[in-house]
Amino acid sequence: KNEVEQSPQNLTAQEGEFITINCSYSVGISALHWLQQHPGGGIVSLFMLSSGKKKHGRLIATINIQEKHSSLHITASHPRDSAVYICAVKADKLIFGTGTRLQVFP
Amino acid sequence: ETGVTQTPRHLVMGMTNKKSLKCEQHLGHNAMYWYKQSAKKPLELMFVYSLEERVENNSVPSRFSPECPNSSHLFLHLHTLQPEDSALYLCASSQAQFNYGYTFGSGTRLTVV
């Protein structure tokens, strides 16, 4: 069992829908990252958070340290949001989830 | 561009070839990393360099040989690879080891034939 589990593994949505991606972890952490990977391969850091909630544009990330759970929300989804979203936790090193593949159709 | 540049973007090599992957960052970061990303698997940490010194080697086969000549450049030298080594190889850097400003390159897609 991975120390970082994401759900769902695959997600399809219609443009405009509200999206939620979940991340659960089983180790003690000091921070959690949400990353976005486009088909070209490059990875972009969306958020790093250690408590509460962060918002950037249409993206919102929340973390509950007691429950060892984080969610990434996308409001008013758009086809350009199609990508793989990866959760990574910072323990003694970064531990990555396997990612959630999101496809948003027009 | 994220500030971390990897070359080449794509590489096809035979099992007897020797090639090198290059990573360059001018973000002023002190830590650099090589990761391997295979299909359906989480990113696997291969090597960590902090202040040009290798601080972690995650049981990577000796056919992968890293080199960090200075804080801005990182290489991954490849020789006698196997087909199962085909993957996306990602370089990353951060201000300090596993710390703030974690930035990835676009990766090199390696195919071993």
pLDDT tens column, A13-59: 999 999 999 999 999 999 999 999 988 778 888 989 999 999 999 99
**Residue A38's pLDDT is what?**
85
State both tokens at A93. Answer: 């090193």
Q: CB distance A43–B90 less than 8 Å?
A: yes
A35-39, A67-71, B50-54, B94-98: which has the highest mean pLDDT?
Answer: A67-71
**Would you call the peptide bond into A8 cis, given omega within 30 degrees of 0 as the criterion?**
yes
Query: Phi/psi at A81 (nearest 5 deg)?
Result: -80, -10
| A24 or B98: which leads in pLDDT | A24
Query: Phi/psi at A80 (nearest 5 deg)?
Result: -70, -10
Given CB atoms, is B43 within the 8 Å cutoff of chain A?
yes
**Residue B1's pLDDT is what?**
60
Confidence of residue B55 (pLDDT cuts 50, 70, 90): confident
Q: Which of residues 3-62 of A touch B (CB under 8 A)?
A: 4, 33, 35, 40-45, 48
Q: Write down the residue that tokens 């972890």 correspond to.
A: A25
User: What percent of chain B has a predicted confidence (pLDDT) above 90?
Assistant: 68
State both tokens at B113. Answer: 């034939």
| B48 or B2: which leads in pLDDT | B48
Given CB atoms, is B88 within the 8 Å cutoff of chain A?
yes
Mean pLDDT of B39-68: 87
Q: Which of B2, B40, B92 sits opposite A98 (nearest CB)?
A: B40
Q: In whole angstroms, give the CA distance from residue A70 to residue B19.
A: 40
Q: In whole angstroms, give the CA distance from residue B5 to residue B73.
A: 10
The one-letter code for the residue type at B5 is T
Given CB atoms, is A2 within the 8 Å cutoff of chain B?
yes
**Residue B100's pLDDT is what?**
66
* Model confidence at B28: pLDDT above 70: yes
Q: Which of A41, A92, A98 sits opposite B42 (nearest CB)?
A: A98
Report the residue count for chain A.
106
Q: CB distance A45–B103 less than 8 Å?
A: yes
